[in-house]
Homo-oligomer: A and B are copies of this chain.
Amino acid sequence: MRRWRLTIQYDGTSFCGWQRQASGPSVQQGLEEAITCFCGEQPAVTGAGRTDAGVHAAGQVAHVDLVREATAATVRDALNYHLRPAPVAVLEALPVADDFHARFSARARRYRYRILDRPAPPILERGFVWWTRRPLDVTRMADAAALLIGRHDFTSFRSAMCGAASPLKTIDALSVRRDGEEVVIDVRARSFLHNQVRIIAGTLERVGQGRWSTADVAAALAARRRERAGPTAPPGGLCLIAVEY
């Protein structure tokens, strides 16, 4: 039996999310079925982050234990063969120590949220950006974002369905920059609350529009009430960029 670390990319548009659910196809289910096709085994695949329906991943990480012996290239290529035509691919399969755990060994997760703030709707980036039409003030957004860095009670920034025991989280880095016609929000933390990044994006978008001030964001954070922060931004703009170990 060998433990494998898989680096996985997916277009989340057509999935009900990472995790197996009765409501529709999940990335986890797709991977587990591909593994069964490859080697006949039926192991559980454990992911680093349970991305929601419609959220993408450039570098999700998961681990799985396989009895079947094979080279790393064979595991990668065989899983990609059986995953087709689903929009999921294994970028890398790496043999790891038995105590590696995709979720609990992770030191940090990095997410990116992309906003297209131009008058014309998204075409080449359709499904991968939040289209807000009106131009956003990135400097204002970056100033407000700075408030959220560090250890805080993020009760205002988690969904009502969040199951985390504590609302205390530490954001290591949070930047807002313009990249051509897009506003790109990059955030890094050891872990996140449910919908935390999307609520941060929805809140910063209001600041970028000029409807909210930095003081409003500070007040929203201090209030510890979900309804005081901005809306949950749509899932398609979000991407799990990488998991660090």
Which single member of B9, B92, B120, B128 contacts A90 (CB below 8 Å)?
A: B120
Which single member of B11, B92, B119 contacts A126 (CB below 8 Å)?
A: B11
- Please, could you name 12 A-B residue pairs with CB atoms under 8 Å apart, sorted by A? A9-B123, A10-B123, A58-B124, A76-B119, A76-B120, A77-B119, A84-B121, A87-B123, A88-B123, A89-B120, A89-B122, A89-B123
Chain B hits for A123, CB < 8 A: 9-11, 87-89
A118 sits at the interface (CB 8 A): yes
Copies in the complex: 2
A91 sits at the interface (CB 8 A): yes
B120 & A80 in contact (Cβ 8 Å cutoff): yes
A9 & B124 in contact (Cβ 8 Å cutoff): yes
A70 sits at the interface (CB 8 A): no
Chain B hits for A122, CB < 8 A: 89
13 additional contacts (CB under 8 A) given A11-B126, A89-B122, A91-B118:
A9-B123, A10-B123, A11-B123, A56-B124, A58-B124, A73-B119, A76-B119, A77-B119, A80-B119, A80-B120, A84-B121, A87-B123, A92-B120
Query: What residue of chain B has the Cβ atom nearest to residue A11's Cβ?
Result: B123
Chain B hits for A76, CB < 8 A: 119-120
Chain B hits for A87, CB < 8 A: 123, 126
Query: What residue of chain B has the Cβ atom nearest to residue A10's Cβ?
Result: B123
Knowing A91-B118, A118-B91, the reply to whether A124 touches B80 (Cβ < 8 A) is no
Query: What residue of chain B has the Cβ atom nearest to residue A58's Cβ?
Result: B124
Contact with B along A1-27 (1 / 0, CB 8 A): 000000001110000000000000000
User: A174-227: which have CB < 8 Å to B?
Assistant: none
Chain B hits for A128, CB < 8 A: 124
